[in-house]
Amino acid sequence: MDKPLADFLEAHHPLAVEDVVWGNGRYPLHIRGFYTTAIPPRPYLMSARSIVFREDKVMVVADPDGLHIVPGGRIEEGETLWQTTQREVGEESGWLIERPQMLGFLHYRHLADRAAVPFPLYPDFLQVVYLSHAYAYNADLLDEESPELWAKFYSIDEVYQLIDSPVQLALLQNAIDLLVQ
């Protein structure tokens, strides 16, 4: 691991850890979730995401790998992290979001050999995670090429029944804690 990334990660304590497999079993990954307002080093950032609230409900997104609560995607050249998050959430869900709060970041480590991994960052990459609020729906934002199947809002209790990711649930709990402060 590069020293700047190792130093950044060492300065933070993970909330939760899990192993997942993306892409129909092709890409095994080790994930650690962190709560911080610090922006991770840009060279290691692949995407920006958000846990999205609408009043007292949380957005759940379905994609071919399952359900999750962190819509978002790859950072395009010239975009800020928040612009990426707004664009990606819109493309995946049709919702406009506002009132960003930095929630933390996800650290991914590929467990497969480099030859099997088509992603530009290897073996480690990061994703920032915001807390945001949905305020308007616009179907024109949806990207027909997006792999997401649907996005719906569920109560917090329902989310805890639908989502089994320890990392996502730890970030959700931190988001809830921020909202009640």
CATH number, domain of 44, equals 3.90.79.10
* 135: nearest Cα among 50, 67, 74: 50
Spatial CB neighbours of 53, under 8 Å, sequence gap ≥ 6: 59, 131, 132, 133, 134, 175, 179
Q: How far apart are the first and last CA of the chain?
A: 37
pLDDT the model gives residue 122: 86
Residue 123: is the preceding peptide bond cis (ω within 30°)? yes
Residue 88: CB atoms within 10 A of its CB come to 25
Range of the domain at 73: 3-180
Q: What is the pTM of this model?
A: 0.93
pLDDT the model gives residue 114: 80
Tens digits of residue pLDDT in 113-144: 887 788 888 899 999 999 999 999 999 999 99
pLDDT the model gives residue 26: 85
Distance CA 150, CA 95 (A): 12
pLDDT the model gives residue 63: 92
- Residue 14 identity: P
Give the single-character DSSP code of 41: P
Structural domain total, the chain: 1
- Enumerate residue ranges in the chain where pLDDT < 50: none
Beta-sheet pairing, 95-110 with 72-74: unpaired
pLDDT the model gives residue 1: 82
Spatial CB neighbours of 77, under 8 Å, sequence gap ≥ 6: none
Provide Rg for the chain, Cα atoms. Answer: 16
